[in-house]
Homo-oligomer: A and B are copies of this chain.
Amino acid sequence: MTYTRIDVSLAKGAYPVFCGSGLLARGDIWKPFVGTGQVAVISNNRVLSLHGDGMTQQVKAKTVILPDGEEHKNFKTLEIALDELAAMEMRRDGTVIALGGGVIGDTAGFAAASYMRGVRLLHMPTTLLAQVDAAIGGKTGVNRPHGKNMVGAFYQPVAVVCDTSTLATLPSREYVAGLAEIVKYALLGDAPFFVWLEDNVVALLAQEPTAVRHVVETSVRAKAVIVAADEHEIGDLRVLLNLGHTFAHGIENVAGYGAWLHGEAVAVGMVAAARLSEKMCGFVAADTARIIALLRRLQLPYAFPNIDTDTLLCAMRADKKHAANKLHFVVMEAVGRARTIEIDDETPVRQTIEEMR
């Protein structure tokens, strides 16, 4: 059983992302990263029943069960996690293992970041979205009434274990939503990968293991490079990961957490970014058509839902990525070449939304 190790290199030192099939049961690979103190596996019931057995046999740990779903990514759930860590009397030498999707990773990650001002954190993402995005790069946090991920920490894990065999049990809709973020990496910086995706839609939808591992590893590598260059999203580089996300967060805010899967909203957001790029920086319409065609074949949405334009714009303005009163967007000059722009006049954004119904 082979696996790949991809390092995320940061100022303070690198941490590894292990990718491969069956890694949760391979304690020999990830146990060296567990500390000497107590260990808590933070997960939810569904993930534990599917993937917990092989993993929890590797290490003596207390299991902390959180409620499942984006609507529970809040302070109340964070407090459950923190109180469980306190109840087991975890010390600063303890380790939190976040086993699950993005909601578990973000919540358990923030708990690990803030419990006693920080204990060791291992991410074991079990969804495609978490493996290619959420678990890499140290963003943790919870939602607030005012917005998604409004409160959190940049807190890097000591290691990430991407066991691609866990993806087989994902609901099809969730797996497909994860593919949207993979398309994003192609669009923002890797044109040959976009072609590869166009050529391998059938293998991806069939979850052919070699294809799945290829997209996970390619995405992890892409994210690792960006995070290494701009850990705290201070420069422009990490912002590129938000391609399609201003529109996506608008959709998610208006529709309410959970109505749309994040990847689904990102898919629509990328089409919107492409159309906006046509207006702003000469992106070729034929490439927008290619993006739409790929998303459609991947069974992803590519048009806005029936939301009032002003309501959507208002939600987009509230998105935390904007400084001052300007809307910030990631646009593409071509497939594989993205950059950020500031927009004073909302007209092209409004046009984009109205064209895409």
Contacts and interface: CB of A to CB of B under 8 A. Distances in A.
Interface of A: 11-12, 37, 75, 79, 82-83, 86-87, 89, 91-93, 110, 113-118, 139-141, 144-147, 149-154, 232-233, 318, 320, 322-324
Given A75-B79, A146-B86, A146-B87, A114 B320 contact: no
A151 B114 contact: yes
A144 B83 contact: yes
Copies of this chain, count: 2
Given A117-B139, A141-B117, A82 B320 contact: no
Contacts of A11: 11-12
Given A86-B146, A115-B150, 17 more contacts: A75-B75, A82-B144, A82-B150, A86-B147, A86-B150, A91-B322, A91-B323, A93-B324, A114-B152, A116-B150, A116-B320, A117-B141, A117-B149, A117-B152, A117-B153, A117-B232, A118-B154
17 contacts: A37-B323, A37-B324, A82-B150, A82-B151, A83-B145, A91-B324, A92-B323, A93-B324, A114-B141, A114-B151, A115-B151, A116-B151, A117-B139, A117-B149, A117-B152, A118-B154, A118-B232
Contacts of A91: 320, 322-324
A151 B75 CA distance: 12
A114 B117 contact: no
Nearest to A94: B323
Closest 7 CB pairs of A and B: A86-B146, A114-B151, A117-B152, A91-B323, A93-B323, A117-B154, A116-B320
A110 B79 CA distance: 15
